Structure 1
Amino acid sequence: MAQSKKISVMLSSRCNDRFPAGSDQTLSSIRAQLKREIEGTTLFGKQLFEVWINEDAPPADGMQDSWDACLQAVRDCDVLLVLSNGNAGWASGDGDIGICHAEYMEGLATTRGKVRFIAMPNIPVGDSREAEAARNQRFQAFIAQQTPFRGGMVSTVEQLRDRVQEALLDAVVVLTQRGVTAAASSRFDMGQALDWTRMDFRQRKRAMETVLLQALTGGEAPVGDAYAIVPMADVNIAVFVHAIPAAFTVAAARELVGKPFLRDHEHAHLLQGAHGPLHLIACHRGATEHQATALLGFADATVVSGPFGVFVADDVQKVQFAFLANCRDASQTRHALQRFREWLDQTGEAQRLAKRAVSRARIVSVIAAELEGR
C-alpha cells in the first residue's frame, strides 16, 4: 500500500468512450472532474484524498511499461473505484485481456476489500472488431462471475458522480473499521484474548462455540445446543459449531472436535425442517488448507482459503465445513464469521452451499434410516 498521509484513490475506466453514449463527454474528462472534486474534499481544512488517473500520472521509470504502471497503481492505492461500461480496454495481442479487465482482476486478487465496482450500461459487444468483441465478452463474463454489490446501474454523469461519492464514503468507513479490528487483533496478551488464554481447553472451547452461536442467532446461545438453523440463499441450513481451543497441531485440542461430519446421521431428526449440516469450526490459532484436507481425509475437494480461514466442500458426499481462523476472543470470532458470510454472498458460493446442503440432508437421512433398520 502507498505510504502517504492522504488516502490514495484510483479511478479505473476506459478513457475515450463517451458517457452517456452519444454525448460529447468522454470518461477521461469525467474522471478528471471527479479527481478535482474528490481532492477538493477536506477534513478539518486538510486535504484528505489524492486521486490517481492515468491521464496525469507522472512518467514511470524505464523498467515499467504502461501496463505495469497501471497495475502497480492498483496495488498501491488504498481505494480502487472501477467505473465499468463493459469495455475491456486496450491489449497487446488479440488473445489477451484488456487493461480495464486486468486492473479490476488485480484489485480483487491483491486486496478485494478496497475495490468498489460502479456499473454503467455495457457497450454493445457486436459493434467492435472480432478480437475486441471477444475481449469485451471475456471481461463482461468475468464481471458477472464476481457478483459484487454495485447498487444499481448509473446512466447519467450526475448519477455516476453520486455513486462515486457513495462508494468512496463506504470504503473509508468500512476499511477504517476493519483496520481497527486488524490492529486490535495483533495483541493477544491483554483483554478478553488473555482471559480466554487463561481458560483450560474445554472452557475455551465452550466460550468459542457460545460466541459463534450468539452471532448466528443474533441473540443468546441456546443452552445445551451446539447448532443453529440459519437461512442461507433461501434455504434453512443446520449449522453445527465446534471449536479447536489451541493450535491445530495440538492433538489434545484437535481431538475435541475430531471429524464431526462422520456423526451427521445422529442429527437426522433435526433435518425435518432444515438441510445440511454445515460445520463451522472456530480455530483458536491459524488454519491451513493442508489441515483442512487432513480433517476431511482426502484432498480431492473444493478447498478455498480466504480472510476468514478455510472452506471445504466435498461434491461427492456433500460434506461442508469451514475453519474460522484466529478466534482469540469474542470480537475476532464474530469477525471471522462475518467475513465468511460476506465471502459466501460476494462470490455466489451461498447458492452452491445451499444446494449441497439439500443433497447432504438426503444422504444423511438415508444413512440414519439404514442404521435404524439394522
Structure 2
Amino acid sequence: MAKSKRISIMLSSRCTTKFPNDATGKSLTEIRKELQKEIQGEKLLGHQLFDVWINEDSAPVGHDADSWEACLVQVRDCDILIVISNGEAGWAKTAGDIGICHAEYAEGLSTTQAKVRVVALPNVTDKKGEEGERNRRFQEYLSQISPFHGGEAKTIDDLKKRVRDAINEALISLTQRGVAAFGSSKFNKGQALDWSRLNFHQRKSAMEKVLRDSMVTYKGAQAADAGVNLLVGETSILTIIHAIPAAFTIAAARELVGRPFLQDHELASSLKKAAGPLHIIACHKSATETQASNLLGFPDATVVSGEFGVYVADNTQKVQFAFLTNCRDSTHTRHAFQRFMEWLEQSGEASELAARAKSRARIVNVIADENKKKVK
C-alpha cells in the first residue's frame, strides 16, 4: 500500500480505445484524464483527499518488461484499484501471454482483493488471432471471478458516475474493514473477555447460539430442528452449526465437534425438503487449511482460505464444511458468517455449493436406507 497523506486511486483501462457508440469520439485515455482531474479536485474538510494515477502520468516507455512492471507496481501500491473494462486484455509482451489489463486486474486481486472494483463497458467485438485469444481469456477470467459491477455503463456520464460510486463504496468498506482489523487482535475487554471466562461447554453454546441467531436473519432462512435451512441462491440447504471453543490444537475443544459429517445419515428425515447438510464450525481462534484437511480425513479436496476462515468441499462424497475463525464474541462471529456468505456470492461458489449439497442429500438418504435394512 502507498504510504502518503492521501488516498491513492489507480484507474486501469485500455488507452486509445474509443468509448462505444459515443458521438464525441473520446478515447478511454481522454475520459480517464477527465476523471483524474475531477476526482483530485474533490476536497474533504478543506483538504485534497485523492491522488489518481493513470499510466499516462508515467514516463513514456515501450511495451516491454519495464513498462509492464511499472504498471504492476502501481497496482500493488494503490489503495483503490478501479478497473474500467470493455473486455480487452491489452498488449502483451509475447504471444500467448495475458494482456496488461488482465495482469493488472489479477495482480490487484492477489495483492488485496478488497480494494478492487470493476466498472464494465460493453465488450468489444470478437477479434481474430492472438489479440482475440487474449481478450477471450480475459473475459472468461472476469466471468469466473464474477465481480459486482452493476451492469454496463452505456454513456460517458454513466461511466463517470459508476467510477465515483465505486470509489465511494470502496472508501466506506475499506474504512470499516480497517477499523475491524485494528481491533480484531485485542480480545481482552468486553464480551470477548466474558466469553474467555466461560468453560468449554458454556462458550461452545454461546458461539453456536450467536451463529444460529445470525443465520435465521438471512432472507429465506428457516429454523429447523437440526439446524437452519439456509437459502443459497434458490436452494434451501440444511446447515448444521458447531463450535470449537478454544484453539484448534487443543484436543479437548476439537473433540467436542469431532467429524460431524460421519453422522449425516442421522439427518435424513430433515433432508426431505432441503439439500445438504452443510456444516458451519465457529472457531474461537484460528484454523488452517492443513487442520481443515485433517478434519476431513484426506487432502484431496477443495480447500479455500478466505477472510471468513477456511472452506472445504469433498467432491467425491460431497461433504462440505466451513471454519469461521476468530469467533471471540458475537460481533466477530456474525461478521465471519457474513463474510462467508459474501464470498459464496462474489466467487460464484454458491452454485457449486448448492449442487454438492443436493448430491450429498441423495448420498445421505441412500446410507440411511441401507442402515434401516441392516437393522431389520
Same fold (TM over 0.5): yes
Local SS of the residue matching 1:8? strand
1:114 aligns with 2:115: yes
Aligned partners of 2:259 and 2:225: how far apart in 1? 18
- Aligned-partner Cα distance in 2 for 1:230–1:189: 33
CA contact (8 A) 1:20 1:157 kept: no
For each residue in 1:327-346, what CA deviation from the matched residue of structure 2 results, as whole angstroms up to 9, or x when unmatched? 11111111111111111101
The aligned amino acid for 2:54 is: I
Report the CA distance shift for 1:131/1:189 in structure 2 as closer, same or farther (over 3 A).
same
Distance 2:227 2:281 in 1: 12
CA contact (8 A) 1:246 1:253 kept: yes
Displacement of 1:178: 1.2
1:204 maps onto 2:206 in alignment: no
Q: Is the 8 A contact 2:223 2:229 kept in 1?
A: no
**CA 1:349–1:222 in structure 2 vs 1: closer, same or farther (change >3 Å)?**
closer
Classify the secondary structure of the residue corresponding to 2:352.
helix
Instruction: Give 1:37's aligned residue.
Output: 38
Tell me what 2:178 maps to: 179
Which residue number corresponds to residue 281 of structure 1?
281
Q: 1:327 maps to which residue?
A: 327
Deviations 1:268-310 (A, max 9, x none): 1111111100000111111111101100000111111111111
* Equivalent AA in structure 1 for residue 288 of structure 2: T
Residue number in structure 2 paired with 1:137:
136
Are the counterparts in 1 of residues 216 and 222 from structure 2 also a CA contact under 8 Å?
A: no
Distance in 1, matches of 2:17 and 2:53, equals 19
Note the C-alpha offset of 1:176. 1.0
Aligned residues of 1:6 and 1:48 also touching (Cα < 8 A) = yes
Give the Å deviation of 1:222: 9.9
Deviations 1:103-131 (A, max 9, x none): 001111111111110110111122xx511
Aligned-partner Cα distance in 1 for 2:224–2:302: 32
CA contact (8 A) 1:213 1:226 kept: no
Q: Which amino acid aligns with 2:203?
A: R
> TM-score with structure 1 length normalisation?
0.95
Equivalent position amino acid for 2:352 in 1: R
For 2:74 and 2:95, the matched residues in 1 are separated by 24
Q: What residue is the counterpart of 1:234 in the other structure?
A: 234
1:222–1:164 CA distance, 2 compared to 1 (3 A)? closer
Instruction: Name the count of aligned residue pairs.
Output: 369
Judged with a 3 Å threshold, the aligned counterparts in structure 2 of structure 1 residues 224 and 353 are, in CA distance, closer, same or farther, namely closer
Residue 146 (structure 1) aligns with: 145
2:246 pairs with 1:246: yes
> 1:256-278 CA distances to partner (integer Å, 9 max, x unpaired)?
00000001111111111111000
CA distance in structure 1 between the partners assigned to 2:69 and 2:306 by the alignment: 26
Q: After TM superposition, list the pairs within 5 Å mapping 1:11-90 onto structure 2.
A: 11-21=11-21, 23-57=24-58, 65-90=66-91
Q: Which amino acid aligns with 2:47?
A: K
- 2:309: which partner in 1? 309
Q: For residue 337 of structure 2, what is the aligned residue in structure 1?
A: 337
**Cα drift, residue 315 of structure 1:** 1.1
Contact 2:222 2:229 in 1 (8 A): no
Q: Secondary structure of 1:286's partner?
A: coil
Q: In the alignment, residue 85 of structure 1 is paired with which amino acid?
A: N
Aligned residue for 2:195, secondary structure, equals: helix
User: Partners in 2 of 1:84 and 1:222 — Cα distance?
Assistant: 40
Instruction: Measure, in 2, the Cα distance between the counterparts of 1:68 and 1:187.
Output: 38
Does the Cα contact within 8 Å between 2:222 and 2:230 map onto a contact in 1? no
Specify the SS of the correspondent of 1:125: coil
Q: Give 1:225 deviation, angstroms.
A: 5.3
Partner of 2:161: 162
2:291 is matched by which residue type in structure 1?
A: Q
Deviation at 1:142, TM superposition (A): 0.9
Q: Percent identity?
A: 59
CA distance in 1, matches of 2:371, 2:148: 45
Q: Kindly state the Cα deviation for residue 184 of structure 1 after the two structures are TM-superposed.
A: 1.7
- Partner Cα separation in structure 2 for residue 216 and residue 115 of structure 1: 28
